[in-house]
Amino acid sequence: MSGHPGARAFFVGSDHAGISLRRAVVAHLEAAGHVVGEFGPGDGERSDYPDAAREVALAVRRAAPADRAGGILICGTGIGMSIAANKVTGIRAALVHDPVTARLAAEHNDARVLCLGARLLAEDYALGLVDVWLAASFETRHQGRLDKVADLESAAHIGDISRSGAELIER
């Protein structure tokens, strides 16, 4: 990987609602010396958020954990991107709105994909959230919870339900 010694690889994607912020995020990361891959429509084009979510999530999954690659996904609210990216096995995508959730997404959830709502956040504020997320590190005391999250991806859980849940349904 080129760039400075702390350079990392990032994949940044958006739908049409996030084009402008996507470009700002790409420029921001490149200015910091990171290597950036960009996915999403160009000016005047429209695209559905699952398309970029798929590309970015798969790229992050392919790259991780060797170089701690990260992804940033941007749509109007960030909601669609977070829903879609979290469907990709092994991906933890976090929708954040403020510095606290941006920091905790890394510290508690080890979220390698950050989701942002372009229609809700001012550009400078959103770039600040990216910086907060990048500066934060995962706290390993939360690993057991991530293991349980990963366990939910197992097909063995489909149809599985706790006794209390079953009792509620039977009522």
| Site residues (CB under 6 A) for ligand RB5, limited to 10-49 | 15, 17, 49
Cα 82 from Cα 53, distance rounded (Å) = 8
Angstrom distance (rounded) from CA 32 to CA 103: 19
Query: According to CB under 6 A, which residues from 75 to 114 bind ligand RB5?
Result: 75-77, 79-80
Nearest residue (CB) to ligand RB5, 52 versus 134: 52
Q: Which listed range, 21-29, 71-79, 96-104, 158-166, lies at the site for ligand RB5 (CB under 6 A)? A: 71-79
- According to DSSP, the β-strands at 70-75 and 93-95 are unpaired
Q: Could you tell me the smallest distance in angstroms from the CB atom of residue 86 to ligand RB5?
A: 13
Q: Is 108 a known active-site residue?
A: yes
Where do runs of H (alpha helix) occur along the chain?
A: 19-31, 49-63, 79-85, 99-107, 123-135, 143-152, 163-170
Has 115 been annotated as catalytic?
no
Residues that bind ligand RB5 (CB under 6 A): 15, 17, 49, 75-77, 79-80
